[in-house]
Each structure stands twice: as structure tokens, then as C-alpha cells.
Amino acid sequence: MSQTNIAAKRFIPDNVVPAEAYARCSHLGIGAHQDDLEFMAFHGISSCYGQDALWFGGVTCSDGGGSARTGRYADYTDEAMKAVRVEEQEKAAALGEYSFVEQLGFTSASIKDPASRTALVDKLETILLTTQPEVLYTHNPADRHATHIGVFLACLEAVRRIPPYSRPKKIYGCEVWRDLDWLDPVDKVALDVSGHPELAEQLHACFDSQIAGGKNYGKAVIGRWTANATFLDSHSVDAVNRLTYAIDLTPLAEDDELDLHEFVASKLDRFREDVLKYFETPDENAGDTN
């Protein structure tokens, strides 16, 4: 049975009417959990921050009720934790000057279950049609979190439902629960997230329930961004100090007949070939040095 949700909540930091908040959205992030937007779509947040013509809008699909909790949150019920996470996401939206953030409040179980995902797809279709962003950020198909994969699949289905001329011009599948450093350079998009470093840390700090719960995701994400920049190229100095990687999902929106399994398999095949080439033809690479 499809999940309906009376807990969905929209927040517009500067209090413009919803129609304006959606219409001005140029960069849209669709994430599974509260804080996913700030970790995986900071490129969009940073690109729009302080700009008059660019606006970041966010969608959080799950209700946050299954969060780990210790310390002062140890005795919180699921309902209490949901309320905390909604408040944290709204605080981040205000700090980041988002055009809007919409928290849909679906359960993780309903997102992961193909039979229950239809309501989420319907809602995402409506949001995409209303906003028609130029750039879309969501989870990538190689993520290892089942709820993230559920959101990715729902997002792809929603994109493919709307007319081609209304679809985002670029769609990025971003790294969260599995980095994307392993991708072949032809498959990997490096997004500069070195701008507004103070804002990044302030946004991450909004999610105190996760930090206090024993998961300092913000510190880990910034460490990943720094490592990505440093290990981008072994033969040149760093051009930027923070990078996040993404898979370019735009081909899946440009061609409805493009098979998702084949699309992902091609990335894995290129990774396999890249690793094994040194063992299959060792003499050709004998002179290679770091």
C-alpha cells in the first residue's frame, strides 16, 4: 500500500509565497534524510548562496524517526526525534538561505519498498514540474544505503515522467554512503565545494542530534572533500582544497530507453578494467612512478 503522509512540512526562510519559492529554484537537492542535502548537495547550496538569480531548494524524503540516539537524545521517542530532525533541517535551510525546504516525512520502509514508493514518486514529480530546476542533486546508484537507493530510484522515475523540455539540464548522483573516488575519470564529475567553508561547517553543526548520537558526519564529510582534492591528481598541485564527486546521471534523463542496470554496470566494468590493466600488461607500465 502506498504511504500517505500528514507530517509533510514546507519551510520558506524568507516567507515569500510558495509559488515564488518554487519558481525561482535553479538548483534542487532531493535527499533521503535530514542532513543529506548539506553533505551531498553543498555544491548547489554554495553556488546559490548570496546570489540574486540562483536559488537552492531542498527536499528531504524520510521522517528521520529511525535515527541513532545516545546522550541527551537517548530517551527520545521516534516521534520526538522526528520533530528534532525537522527543526534541524529548517535551521540549516535558514542558514543556507534556501529558497525552500520540503520535508515529505515518508518512512524509510516505504521508500525502500517498490510497492510503497508510488506516493513518493508522485510527490517528487509534482515538485520537479513546479520547480523545473536547471540542476538536480540526488543520491547515486552505487550508494550502499538502501533508503538512499530508494530515493534515487523514485527520483529517476519522477524525472522520466515529466516532459523532456521540463527536465533538469544536469543531474548529479552524489556521494554519501560510499565515496565515488573509484570511478574512472570519464565517469566521475568533480564538484568544487571549497567556497564558503564557514557555511559548510555551520550547516553541518545544525544536525546536533546526529553528532550527539555518535556520528560526526560533518567532520567526516569535510575530511572526504579534502581527501578528494588532494588525491585528485598525483602529478599536479591542488587547484582547490575541497572536492566532492558525483556520477553524471543526465544521460538517464535524456534517454528513457537507457537501461539503469547497463548504465551502472558500465561504470563498474571500467573500474575493473582500470584495476586489472596493470596486472594484465605489467611491462607497459613498468616505468610509471608516483
Q: pLDDT tens for residues 221-255?
A: 999 999 999 988 766 777 789 999 999 999 999 99
Residue 4 belongs to a domain: no
Locate 237 and state its grid cell: 598541485
Q: What is the mean pLDDT of residues 41-56?
A: 97
Instruction: Return the closest-CA partner of residue 150 out of 104, 186, 184.
Output: 104
What pLDDT score does 3 carry? 39
23 is in which domain, residue-wise? 9-282
Confidence of residue 67 (pLDDT cuts 50, 70, 90): confident
Report how far apart the first and last C-alpha atoms of the chain are (Å, whole number). Answer: 55
Q: CA 185 from chain center: how many Å?
A: 20
CA distances from 134 to 49, 92, 155, 163, 277 (A): 16, 22, 15, 14, 38
CA–CA separation, 207 vs 218, rounded Å? 9
**Helix (H) / strand (E) containing 119:** helix 118-131
Residue 105 belongs to a domain: yes
Q: What is the CATH number of the domain that holds 132?
A: 3.40.50.10320
Strands 27-31 and 135-139: parallel
Which pTM was predicted? Answer: 0.91
Q: CA 270 from chain center: how many Å?
A: 24
Confidence of residue 286 (pLDDT cuts 50, 70, 90): low
Mind listing the pLDDT tens digit for each residue in 70-121?
Answer: 777 777 888 888 898 999 999 999 999 999 999 999 999 999 999 999 999 9
Q: At residue 284, does pLDDT exceed 80?
A: no
Locate 9 and state its grid cell: 512540512
Mean pLDDT of the chain: 90
Structural domain tally of the chain? 1
Residue 289 belongs to a domain: no
CA–CA separation, 219 vs 216, rounded Å? 6
Locate 90 and state its grid cell: 529548517
Confidence of residue 4 (pLDDT cuts 50, 70, 90): very low
Residue 108 belongs to a domain: yes
What pLDDT score does 216 carry? 84
Residue 2 belongs to a domain: no
What pLDDT score does 272 carry? 94
Q: What is the mean pLDDT of residues 250-268?
A: 97
CA–CA separation, 233 vs 238, rounded Å? 8
Q: What is the mean pLDDT of residues 134-141?
A: 98
Residue 271 belongs to a domain: yes
Residue 287 belongs to a domain: no
Confidence of residue 208 (pLDDT cuts 50, 70, 90): confident
142: CB partners within 8 A, 6+ apart:
173, 178, 180, 247, 264, 267
What pLDDT score does 28 carry? 98
What pLDDT score does 204 carry? 94
Instruction: Return the closest-CA partner of residue 108 out of 210, 38, 5.
Output: 5
Confidence of residue 124 (pLDDT cuts 50, 70, 90): very high
* 8 A C-beta contact, residue 74 and residue 142: no
CA–CA separation, 243 vs 231, rounded Å? 10
Residue 91 belongs to a domain: yes
Q: What is the mean pLDDT of residues 260-275?
A: 95
- 54-68, 155-169, 208-222: lowest mean pLDDT where? 208-222
Q: At residue 194, does pLDDT exceed 50?
A: yes
CA distances from 255 to 122, 213, 247 (A): 21, 42, 16
Instruction: Return the closest-CA partner of residue 187 out of 269, 257, 260.
Output: 269
Share of the chain above pLDDT 70, in %: 91
